[in-house]
Amino acid sequence: MNRLTATAILLLSVSWLASCDKTSSTTSGAATFTAVPATATAVQSTDGLTYTIDGDDTHPDKIITYPWKTSFAVTVTETVGVGRNISSVSIRVQQASGGIVITPTGTDIEHYQYTSHASTNRIEAKGSASVAFDVWYDLPNKGREALVTVTFGFLDDNNSSFTETTSVRVE
């Protein structure tokens, strides 16, 4: 094996091992967000959760079962030394390919709903808190790959109110 081939195999092996990470972190000016798993997996939804598309005078309402469900957790770690309360949390699900949002055409929209479970709403200075999510969704392209943007609202000990976001890939 020549030196160039050995170097290429070594670089590929290192990059493959690095991609096996089970968590994903993003850092803002005041916190680190860690998603577990780094890339969430979508599975067929089996719990019968539905959404309704309203009909009109000539078309009845459509009740549709969400085809996909994913679960993940986000841990928020405060990094600047000022405690805070989590005052709100919301998500947005968007169809994606390779982590890139694919905007639906025409009047198509993503349908989703979620539940969240927090360990606490308080993050002490340099402390952390976790929020787990179960997300059911249906995408216009009928695929399962999505990008979930999680928005946290905070009120810190200096009485400042602000939001921060992080994204979780779903495959």
Provide, rounded to the nearest whole percent, the portion of the chain with pLDDT above 90: 81
> Is the model's pLDDT at 15 over the cut of 50?
no
Per-residue pLDDT tens digits for 71-99: 999 999 999 999 999 999 999 999 999 99
Contact 53, 62 (CB under 8 A): yes
pTM as predicted: 0.82
> Is the model's pLDDT at 51 over the cut of 70?
yes
Could you state, in order of their start, the residue ranges of all structural domains in the chain? Answer: 22-170
User: Which position has the higher pLDDT, 137 or 24?
Assistant: 137
Fold of 22-170: Immunoglobulin-like (2.60.40)
> Is the model's pLDDT at 29 over the cut of 80?
no
Contact 112, 137 (CB under 8 A): yes
pLDDT at position 95 is 97
Cis ω for the linkage preceding 37 (within 30 of 0): yes
pLDDT at position 140 is 97
Per-residue pLDDT tens digits for 18-27: 333 456 666 5
Residue with tokens 């998500």: 91
Mean pLDDT within 40-68: 97
